[in-house]
Chain A
């Protein structure tokens, strides 16, 4: 498809502006089961997302056939744009003068053969089996690498490009004892294959599965609870939409008219950090070509800013914060690397300072047991019972329930163990005074 021709034709038939977002990726995936390759997958795909403004309204279209007829595409876009009755105003961006620099790619995927990658998985799998007799299966043992490129071109002469590459190993093991099965799961995401620490991955997975064996419920009640960093960051992830300017337009965030007020404990600072050094994905610009920058969304508990794309910024008479990212095919709003800043206490100390309580290490049902608008959550969880400052036994089949905004106003302590996930959400472990636990 000739993009310049598409832009010229669009202008000709009355579109005020048009933008083309072209993404392409090459993936390799290998999975191993019981020492044999279970599946080997290769792919090479591209996607063209087009958005265009007609009569002040913006419509979206995406396609995968690069030979699609231009007139047909524009006709379809015009038809969709004409259906819109929203009063929102739209904008296509001419670009910024300067964009932050991102280190160039430096992956080593081609230094290793397929066989090397298979052997790496074999080594991990066999060390997991060898580590503990109670490991019954390594149910997943996958290696994935992905190289992708994005280019954004528009009728205001924007032309920006970015490339990305990452690889990851995902492993799950099942441990069995006394007819009780428990699983341990670990994903390690890196920029280079030589950055993987196979021993560490094995240790994590085995430890998680085995230490949960013979887990039981606890008596229902209110317990002091420490939510471990990864679990905390997964819980936080389900609430990040509250900071979205899009949610503010739709009035589906509790933060309307809360700018400048205390919304969380003063111990909490939340930063959107596009170029965080620990991050797997660094963002010099967003999916609209707006330069990204670091800012506090919540500073010592005070709500400082919504995150905006061009459209939501316009609606609120603000400037885009460089957070216009694709959600599906449309440009929505999301954080780049959204991080709850760590405190000073070590996780060991948090546990030591707990008389009787729970350390929660995982949540299930985050897609259904959370109401991001009200803040209510009611989630299946698992972890360990703490007595006199020591983890005494594993706990499962319990539900923790509360209101995210209320508990985040009333936290006891924050650990120094910030963990930034590959999904761009990060949190340290946090201790709460009392959360409702349902069990026996």
Chain B
């Protein structure tokens, strides 16, 4: 790949027509996917990713180009092509690239290349055996192990030079339960920015078994009757509610343009007093953790909402200039094929004072969303939707019957105000978040929370 002197040369070429800022992003990644369908290995793939992205900023305008030709002469051509978008006098920006030094918060002991396919398949087999132990109603079990080692170099005309290696390992199991007429699916995954040592102390048999049992419970559940009700959203992946309903609308991507429902609301009350929301890219080895973001800046702990008051947005370099807001280590992208923008890392509600039992016991009637599925939001309207993967009715302070087919809808601004209880049991779940700069690993998290007056859809 390019040397430091070559990178400086490219950056200067990018600035030669008057731009304010230039950036190089180099990537070399290897990904492996193994799939086990029941007890047979049905997929063994390897993908290599290799390329460069160049970004030039001039005033409010961005020019981005990418290619997988990374020889110096090819990159020079690309730089000239991008620079030709402007025709001003160069601003003579002086810089020398200085390597960023940081503490490694994503240490890896067992690299993907340290294990054979057979050793990786052995993990999948444990999950299969667990899921298969549950009974005849389980008709299909599909597990995948994916690992990806992403090596990046970022260099920019502010003199920043940073390198990082991200090791994202994820195991996913899906079980399908059927009674002849009807089939239902349950799925779960564990992922971290860490080596294969992350699976050393995980009971994968129970992991698989829990998923299969969940599929059977969903199969035997009744359809929920929709309407407005109190909803208790369980900890861990339940944090997808915060991720979708609120924090997407706090990303500079929509805030800078004034399009978000939370634009121009800093210092204002946007949530109930008990709500504190955090995006923290520094949690050791978490799925959404990074040493440096894809603009080369260290990640940090960002308190977004504190006791209901909006404190800050998630801001990348470009939008920090436009918004006059500090950067928050949030510039992320899927690969060199995307220019970076403000994104989440590990996003969660801070723990509250109530126990899980207290929350359920004090709820007379409502829905307990034990496992959430995915969701989405329109940042301009703030309207969101989520699927409830595994739900139960709460009647007279007790969890009673399983129900299925529930979808939660509402507006982000409203739901934040309607949170009236927060538990003390913070946990995280792993997701892939899709947005402007591609699909990236993010943790969502929360303790159990209770929301009043949500619209729940169903067909019972």
Contacts and interface: CB of A to CB of B under 8 A. Distances in A.
Task: Please indicate whether A and B come from the same complex rather than being unrelated chains.
Answer: yes
Interface of A: 33, 36-46, 59-66, 68, 76-77, 79-88, 114, 137, 139, 172, 174, 181-183, 217, 220, 250-252, 254, 329-330, 364-365, 367-369, 371, 373-374, 376, 378-380, 396-403, 435-440
A400 to B, nearest CB: 7
30 contacts: A41-B66, A44-B67, A68-B48, A76-B46, A80-B46, A83-B41, A84-B43, A85-B41, A86-B40, A137-B257, A181-B261, A181-B381, A181-B382, A183-B378, A250-B142, A251-B176, A329-B45, A365-B374, A365-B386, A367-B374, A367-B376, A374-B185, A379-B457, A380-B384, A380-B407, A397-B409, A399-B409, A403-B459, A435-B459, A439-B455
B90 interface: no
Contacts of A439: 226, 455
Contact of B406 (A139, A217, A378, A398): A378
A61 B176 CA distance: 29
B117 A399 contact: no
A191 B221 CA distance: 49
B183 interface: yes
B241 to A, nearest CB: 13
Contact of A43 (B45, B66, B259): B66
Closest 3 CB pairs of A and B: A399-B457, A438-B226, A368-B374
Given A80-B45, A378-B459, A398-B455, 7 more contacts: A39-B63, A40-B62, A43-B67, A66-B68, A82-B117, A374-B185, A401-B405
Contacts of A220: 226-227
Given A373-B176, A397-B409, A436-B226, A365 B387 contact: yes
Given A39-B339, A86-B37, A364-B385, A373 B458 contact: no
B136 interface: no
Interface of B: 34, 37, 39-51, 60-69, 78, 81-82, 85, 117-118, 121, 139-140, 142, 176, 182-185, 223, 226-228, 254, 257-259, 261, 337, 339, 373-376, 378, 380-387, 404-407, 409-411, 455-460
Contacts of B78: 42
A76 B46 CA distance: 8
Given A39-B63, A137-B259, A254-B183, A365 B45 contact: no
B25 to A, nearest CB: 13
A217 B176 CA distance: 35
Nearest to B414: A397
Nearest to A42: B65
A397 B41 contact: no
Contacts of A182: 381
Contacts of B456: 399, 438
Contact of A365 (B65, B67, B176, B407): B407
B259 A139 contact: yes
A43 B337 contact: yes
A402 B68 contact: no
Q: Is the interface of B mostly helix, strand, loop or mixed?
A: strand
Contact of A85 (B40, B183, B258): B40
A403 B184 CA distance: 12
A378 B44 contact: no
Contacts of A87: 40
A250 B38 CA distance: 9
Nearest to A83: B117
A38 B409 contact: no
Contacts of B65: 41-43
Contacts of B183: 254, 373-374
B81 A42 contact: yes
A61 B44 CA distance: 9
Nearest to B70: A65
Contact of B184 (A33, A371, A400): A371
Contacts of B410: 397
Contact of B64 (A39, A86, A376, A398): A39
A401 B459 contact: yes
Contacts of A68: 48
Given A364-B385, A374-B183, A438-B457, A369 B407 contact: yes
Contacts of A81: 44
Contacts of B387: 365, 368-369, 378
B11 to A, nearest CB: 18
Contacts of A38: 60-62
B458 A62 contact: no
B68 A45 contact: yes
A76 B47 CA distance: 10
Nearest to A212: B381
A84 B42 contact: yes
A43 to B, nearest CB: 5
Nearest to A61: B46
A400 B46 contact: no
B148 to A, nearest CB: 13
Contacts of B66: 41, 43, 45
Contacts of A44: 67, 69
A61 B118 CA distance: 18
Contact of A40 (B64, B380, B386, B458): B64
A347 B210 CA distance: 48
A330 B43 contact: yes
Contact of A436 (B39, B45, B459): B459
A60 B35 CA distance: 13
Contacts of B117: 79-80, 82-83
Contacts of A369: 373, 385, 387, 407
A62 B459 contact: no
Contacts of A64: 48-51, 68
Contact of B67 (A45, A63, A84, A380): A45
A438 B381 contact: no
Contacts of B228: 440
B13 to A, nearest CB: 15
Contacts of B142: 250
Contacts of B60: 36, 38
Contacts of B337: 43, 45
A12 to B, nearest CB: 21
B455 A217 contact: yes
Given A65-B50, A329-B47, A399-B409, A86 B41 contact: yes
B282 to A, nearest CB: 29
Contact of B411 (A63, A397, A400): A397
Given A64-B48, A329-B47, A364-B376, A396 B257 contact: no
A139 B69 CA distance: 33
A46 B387 CA distance: 37
Contacts of B383: 364, 380, 396-397
B40 to A, nearest CB: 5
Contact of B385 (A46, A365, A437): A365
A167 to B, nearest CB: 18
Contacts of A88: 42
B138 to A, nearest CB: 11
